[in-house]
Amino acid sequence: RRQRHDLALARAARDRGVPTLGVCLGVQLINVAAGGSLVQDIKSSLTDALNHSGRTGNRERHQISLVPGSRLATILGVSEVDVNSGHHQSVANAGSGLKIVARSEDGVSEAVEDAAHPFYVGVQWHPEEMLSEESARRLFGALAAAALEFRLQRKS
């Protein structure tokens, strides 16, 4: 029931233009809600995979490359960023209207977005555990700005 509910919420947020940031399982949910598919287990699917698993406080770190011109690259203001990692699944094929906009050096997808939506972004890493870092501050700042804009538009 929870999965059905979460998928319905992701679809409703996207349909209504609600600013949305999916984190870790959230990016996977956003993708599946749009009809995309997942790599079920990175380690067994990719022989040269980095260690993407880890737990809060002990996550592996690695670089990701951002697609130039993507919303995420614009928000972060860089072409590469160091992120933490704590997952064994990832986006395989992007769902309808979504684009993979970041990958780790082993090819694992690290972020998706819908460029036609005011702010519909999913990241595979955990920016909530990186609050002292510029990338996390920029990402959450962009979400807050999009939420404020959404609220102001609804009031008009």
- Give the catalytic positions in this structure: 24, 126, 128
DSSP string, the chain: -HHHHHHHHHHHHHHHT--EEEETHHHHHHHHHTT-EEES-HHHH-TT-----EETTEEEEEEEEEPTTSHHHHHHTSSEEEEEE--S-EEEEPPTT-EEEEEETTS-EEEEE-TTSSSEEEESS-GGG-TTSHHHHHHHHHHHHHHHHHHHHHH-
Alpha-carbon distance of 7 to 12, in angstroms, equals 9
**What is the largest distance, in Å, between two alpha-carbon atoms of the chain?**
53
